[in-house]
Structure 1
């Protein structure tokens, strides 16, 4: 499986956070990768190839699935332009065994679905899908209709409900498989949709009509609360950034996150569309070191707020089946594969809606010779969408000056004989009808038609834009599954190892305040302006170097009911008056 590896919730968070490692991780010292010719000046760095560990032993052949499994670790990411790893970290194959398959029955007096899920018997023959394969309705003689049930059965599901029931991998900022069931658990609960009768998705206040069929939506059992809301930001925000590093910093999306010892809640303000993360990073970082400016034009629309139940959560049937296949005897590879499939976290609460954003890449040389500033270019984009920006150097409320905007901002494909002020337009859209608009969004500056089409589609296709996360192992503990204590403990242990194995603190030092990225099993340094080289080692500038944390050490042995681990501010250490590391250098937990 190809893993996109990075830090936590966004590109810029990835640039700033370095935590967690185990005792088997690579050294934090830079001595093994760099060549020094004189003094403390670093002349070159030596590329290091990606290395995968040896395959672990195959697991025992499962008599029910006739499958076996093995894994290997990421011993070392590729560094400083070294060769990439070939092959996956997990491998599965068919097998044969003489052992008989004996399905487990943990349901007691409850009904067991064909997948193994347990449901209460009062849910049988209620006309609803309480088992994924409808096995709970197979032997029914009638539908047992009643007025309350008929009312709920005719209601639509809440728009975007599938999105909030999925897992979330905070290491790669992407969604996993479905972890929570979207069913109703035999209850007839619904939410009123009146707040959406006048959805304002842009500053023109276009009215969106809803018919009576969309007045109420049925609420799934796992949702504690769901409130429709339509709140658009006050116009577009426009920001100018002179380099990749500044842009990445501005796009930091994680307000608070810590992969700590206890249960930590992650509050995330999403900025990068699911499934587009690695592509976006490649599109942005290809401009590193080039003489360009970035203009970020952005708006966000909130359409609903949600909160999950805290206890007795009903897991998705496929996830339940995958979980029950995990052995009670700890096997990191199998549990890590489960985390890779379903995510490191699940949504505890959050906001649905959409984010509409474009990043203009402007040629600084041509910009200096033109009649438009970088800020004015951003106002031109907002004007092309038919919106009014609250404050700016010119009127962009629909009367854009053709000389300033049209002639300067026409995006042309670069050629050997000509160049354009706008070198690229990077779309960044979350929520809405992405399939139909994806082609349009890839061709130059957007227009009013594109923006309105996207806004209208939000009512049916919202995305999760702000959210609170809880660890996936905590979801298992809060579920209604019986006899999963051992699996939950194993999952928590594997979760800590998984986070440690794929953490950017494993990368070697990036000098001169460069920041490390670990993605696709590759370590990359993002340099500040004026610094170049694979490790940001080439510069004529002089200045302080801020300290950065090493990876965490392994946990000590248990003594007096407690064990500890430490980290050091030496990756690199502060130098020439640079700032020291923030946070604690030691942690302890009960044992």
Structure 2
């Protein structure tokens, strides 16, 4: 059965060599859903469509829904559920220990464990706060879009526990699922400064490193603890890429500075987790017969992974972009800029002592710091100051950060804000299917295998490799069924095609991975090509491997 296809109107402008088309693929064969969690007599059959080519460059996005469902009749038996030896919650279907009844806590999530109580024996007599960011830590995360999705764990469930945990004189209550939530000693506000002689070196070590953390292979081998929260789809991420990309293939030099502040470390229990009732019910409704559309909806709503460990805190980073010709005329080196940036941060001390310790001239550094303040002047050797601040959620601090180099006083103010409003900056994650165990789900092995298969398909469907190339080294971003281009400064238009620059070098970008080869000798392989676009006019080749091999 076919849902049909829709194509948007074709539009072509000067300097654009790729047409935008919104296209929907054909749906899968009909599949039965099985007994719904709402009624043992509710049966559905459905079909889905897969995105084959997103719209771009004024093309219309897909208008039709990518899933249809309708009632059906079947003779198949209803799916059995895991036997509960305790109390079955009325609405959520959760199974809780009977000792938790009438204890004043909402252990069921629907308060049915607190209904019809003759006496309530409260475990906790005093009010206690929730850990910072505990709601986000309980959420699923989509590692392909680097975003939080719906709740998969219930961190408001305490299992009857009520031991207070004090952090900064605040009393917290530890959730049942949490193994540890340890505060970190606030350290010194120091910047790690790194010099880059070219944009390619800067991009390889700063920009590409961040983006590649979320381009997982089908084996989903995830690094230990990695940075989280850099989203190419949000304004902060786009602003950073747009402002730094414009210096690609120029003679600019880069000084990147970064300061990390850790507030707390979080670790999840490894087993016997209490799932959030919304996630529990959705997984119980998944069909045992594989149907990609239903499993895809689960990933869209609850993410692809969940957080097992995390570092909470803040990151303050800035990038100074220097004009090499102006530096040479003024007889400055990148090391001079490095030393002066350090000196500018330590202005709380006597000027002469700071500069003497760093081995640089006070007059030289005053000139550099003045150049940074006057960077909008066309003749300035400081071409840009690009700042990113995470954690703290302080508009005042952020406003100051974008104006000038950070001072010790500003960093202290930012650190105080981070202490009570930390961001999740690093995580360790596991695939969502690891939460599907025989404790909560009948036929758990079948559902788990279906989720693994669907995750591979989902990765292909949400990858920006489906987008046509953007001009001028613009970065394509796929949002639902439409591709947008993040254009470097100096480039405009739907495809970054409008610019006054001539013969701009174009860096190579990878196309999508091929399908896996059949398993042979215990291995399977896949390939990709550096042609989306290929390197042009002296542009850089694609970074990373052109093939992958996995055991099978």
Q: TM-score, normalised by structure 1?
A: 0.67
Q: What does residue 549 of structure 2 align with? A: 587
CA displacement, residues 426-475 of structure 1 (integer Å, 9 cap, x when unaligned): 432222235x4476257523566653333113333222222222112223
Do structure 1's residue 86 and structure 2's residue 43 form an aligned pair?
A: no
SS in 2 for 1:248: helix
Change (3 A) 1:255 1:363: closer
Match of 1:497 among 443, 457, 468: 457
Cα distance in 1, alignment partners of residues 465 and 268 from structure 2 = 33
Say which of 271, 275, 279 aligns to 1:315: 275
Q: Which has the higher contact order (CA 8 A, sep 6+)?
A: 1
2:137 paired residue among 143, 157, 164: 164
- 2:117 aligns with 140
- 5+ residue gaps in structure 2? 1-14, 489-495
The Cα shift of 1:361 comes to 4.8
Classify the secondary structure of the residue corresponding to 1:232: coil
In 2, Cα distance between equivalents of 1:387 and 1:104 = 75
Aligned mates of 1:346, 1:392 — CA distance in 2:
45
- Secondary structure of the 2:154 match is coil
Q: Distance in 2 between matches of 1:276 and 1:78?
A: 17
State the SS of the aligned residue for 1:440: helix
8 A Cα contact 1:271 1:355, kept in partner = no
- 1:254-273 equivalences in 2 (<5 Å): 259-260=216-217, 264-270=221-227, 272-273=229-230
Cα offset for 1:400?
A: 11
1:175 aligns to what? 148
Deviations 1:3-62 (A, max 9, x none): xxxxxxxxxxxxxxxxxxxxxxxxxxxxxxxxxxxxxxxxx9821324322463898898
With over 3 angstroms needed to count, the CA separation of the structure-2 counterparts of 1:174 and 1:367, relative to structure 1, is farther
Give, in whole Å, the separation in 1 of the partners of 2:441 and 2:37.
Answer: 23
Q: Does 1:186 align with 2:159?
A: yes
Structural mapping, 1:550-561, within 5 Å: 551-556=512-517
The answer as to 2:24 corresponding to 1:53 is: yes
Give the distance between the partners of 2:134 and 2:438, measured in 1 at CA.
20
Give the Cα separation in 2 of the matches to 1:177 and 1:277: 19
RMSD of equivalent CA atoms:
5.3
**308, 313, 317: which one pairs with 1:353?**
313
Do the aligned residues in 2 keep the contact of 1:293 with 1:363 (CA within 8 Å)? yes
Which of 390, 400, 405 matches 2:369?
A: 405
For the residue of structure 1 that corresponds to 2:120, the secondary structure is: coil
Partner of 1:458: 418
Instruction: Give the deviation of 1:104 after TM superposition.
Output: 8.3
Q: Which residue of 2 aligns with 1:473?
A: 433
Distance in 1 of aligned mates of 2:301 and 2:346: 42
| Contact residue 189 and residue 408 of structure 2 kept, 8 A | no
Among 320, 342, 357, the residue aligned to 1:379:
342
1:151-550 alignment runs, 5 A limit: 154-188=127-161, 190=163, 193=166, 210-211=168-169, 213-214=170-171, 217-230=172-185, 232=187, 235-241=190-196, 244-249=199-204, 250-251=206-207, 252-253=209-210, 259-260=216-217, 264-270=221-227, 272-273=229-230, 277=234, 279-290=236-247, 293-361=253-321, 374-375=337-338, 378-379=341-342, 382-383=345-346, 392=358, 394=360, 404-406=368-370, 408-410=372-374, 425-434=385-394, 436-437=395-396, 440=399, 443-445=402-404, 450-477=410-437, 480-506=440-466, 518-520=477-479, 521-522=482-483
Matched residue SS, 1:157? coil
The residue matched to 1:454 in structure 2 has which SS?
Answer: helix
- The alignment covers a number of residue pairs equal to 506
C-alpha distance 312-144 of structure 1, shift in aligned 2 (>3 A) = same
Q: Is the 8 A contact 2:397 2:414 kept in 1?
A: no
Question: Partner of 2:88 in structure 1?
Answer: 112
Give the deviation of 1:191 after TM superposition: 7.3
Q: Does the residue aligned with 1:459 lie in a helix, a strand or coil?
A: helix
